[in-house]
Amino acid sequence: MLAHILRDTSISRALVFTRTKHGADRVAKELSKTGIYAGAIHGDKSQNARQRALSEFKAGEIRVLVATDIAARGMISMNCPR
């Protein structure tokens, strides 16, 4: 269903949340198999891998970023100046 929704070209980028780290990896992998380039970000990824996925998402190199709720909190803190 998600792949079907994301085939809509008017959706230039999407942030998808999953409950688990394994789920984030699985959703990103399945989307990529359908030609919808996605990256996963969660607590088990190294800091470099998380930053790379976020940079690729911001640059438009990947359309979909799949994250756990915990990882999303980290993304917000990485990008918001204090």
Q: What is the pLDDT of residues 14-66, one digit of tens each?
A: 999 999 999 999 999 999 999 999 999 998 999 899 889 999 999 999 999 99
Cα separation, 58 vs 19, in Å, equals: 23
Q: What is the number of domains present in the chain?
A: 1
> What are the start-end ranges of the H helices in the chain?
2-6, 21-33, 47-59, 69-79
pTM of the entire structure?
0.81
Higher pLDDT, residue 74 or 14: 14
Domain residue limits at 17? 2-79
CATH of the domain at 34: 3.40.50.300
* Residues whose CB falls within 8 Å of the CB of residue 16, separated by 6 or more in sequence, listed in order: 2, 27, 38, 64, 65, 66, 67
